[in-house]
Each structure stands twice: as structure tokens, then as C-alpha cells.
């Protein structure tokens, strides 16, 4: 029973999907001219929405509202560029990360001593590589 719970928890953690989120640079709204332009664009868009008929589907109406908010943001605010904090993380690190993930999946599918040893070895090598890369930077 305990093994089943551990396997289910491990699989649920792996199954969580990370969605790409568009982040807008809201600091540009501190500039007065950008804020005014954005307010004008949004108000024009919502004025156009009031002219839509009520017979439309709620999903299409929602898509119109979402588009009317997003499009002026893309033009006025630009997307926020995330800073890259981990300069040491390179393609080789991705390869080690994938190897560790594959070893963990093998262990979850076939929990025997051989797969446990393989997981420990791969994890140790990956950690060693990450540590050496951080030290070299």
C-alpha cells in the first residue's frame, strides 16, 4: 500500500504540466505617454465590443474580450524578458537532467535494486556535473 502511494505521488508530480505564461512589462505603464496610449487602445476596443450582438456564443465573446485586452498589451507594453540567472546551466546539464528523469521513470516502472542503483548513480553524476559547472562560473 505504501509503495503504491509513493508511486502515485511520484507520477502525479511528473504529470503536472507547466504552461508558458506571457508576462507583460507592466513597468512601462509608469511612463505617462505609454499609459495614456494603452488606456485609449483599451477603451476603443471595449467600445467595439459593445456593438457586438447578443446572439453570439459566449466562448466567441470571451475570445473577443481576451483578444481585445492582449493585443494592445503586446503593442504597448511588450513581453517581459526573463533574466537568465543560471549562467552555468548549459546543454550538457539538460542531457544530465534528462538521464536522471529517465532513470527515475525506470525505477517507478520497475522498482528493483538494479533500477535503484542506476538512479543513484545517475543522480550522483548529475549532481556532480551541476556542482562543477557552478564552481567554474
More confident residue, 102 or 19: 102
Tell me, what's the pLDDT at 125? Answer: 95
- The answer to the question of residue 13 being in a domain is no
At 35, the pLDDT band (50, 70, 90 cuts) reads: confident
Any residues with CB less than 8 A from the CB of 93 and at least 6 apart, and which?
129, 130, 133
- The answer to the question of residue 3 being in a domain is no
> Do 69 and 91 have their domain in common?
no
> Do 107 and 64 have their domain in common?
no
Any residues with CB less than 8 A from the CB of 130 and at least 6 apart, and which?
88, 93, 96
Q: What is the mean pLDDT of the chain?
A: 77
> Do 90 and 72 have their domain in common?
no
At 45, the pLDDT band (50, 70, 90 cuts) reads: confident
> Do 95 and 69 have their domain in common?
no
**Total tally of structural domains belonging to the chain:** 2
Q: What is the mean pLDDT of residues 75-85?
A: 62
- The answer to the question of residue 40 being in a domain is yes
The boundaries of the domain holding residue 58 are 26-76
CA distance 47 to 34: 20
127: pLDDT strictly greater than 60: yes
Please report the beta strands in 1-137, taking only residues with DSSP state E, as ranges in sequence order. Answer: none
At 104, the pLDDT band (50, 70, 90 cuts) reads: very high
Tell me, what's the pLDDT at 20? Answer: 59
Helix (H, G, I), strand (E, B) or coil at 6: helix
- The answer to the question of residue 15 being in a domain is no
Amino acid at each position: 500500500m505504501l509503495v503504491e502511494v509513493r508511486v502515485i505521488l511520484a507520477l502525479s508530480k511528473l504529470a503536472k504540466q507547466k504552461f508558458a505564461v506571457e508576462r507583460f512589462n507592466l513597468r512601462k505603464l509608469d511612463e505617462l505617454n505609454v499609459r495614456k496610449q494603452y488606456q485609449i487602445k483599451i477603451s476603443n476596443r471595449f467600445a467595439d465590443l459593445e456593438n457586438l450582438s447578443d446572439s453570439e456564443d459566449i466562448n466567441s465573446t470571451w475570445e473577443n474580450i481576451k483578444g481585445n485586452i492582449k493585443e494592445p498589451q503586446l503593442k504597448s507594453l511588450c513581453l517581459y524578458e526573463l533574466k537568465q540567472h543560471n549562467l552555468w546551466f548549459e546543454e550538457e546539464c539538460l542531457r544530465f537532467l534528462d538521464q536522471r528523469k529517465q532513470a527515475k521513470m525506470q525505477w517507478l516502472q520497475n522498482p528493483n535494486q538494479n533500477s535503484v542503483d542506476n538512479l543513484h548513480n545517475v543522480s550522483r553524476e548529475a549532481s556532480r556535473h551541476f556542482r562543477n559547472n557552478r564552481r567554474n562560473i
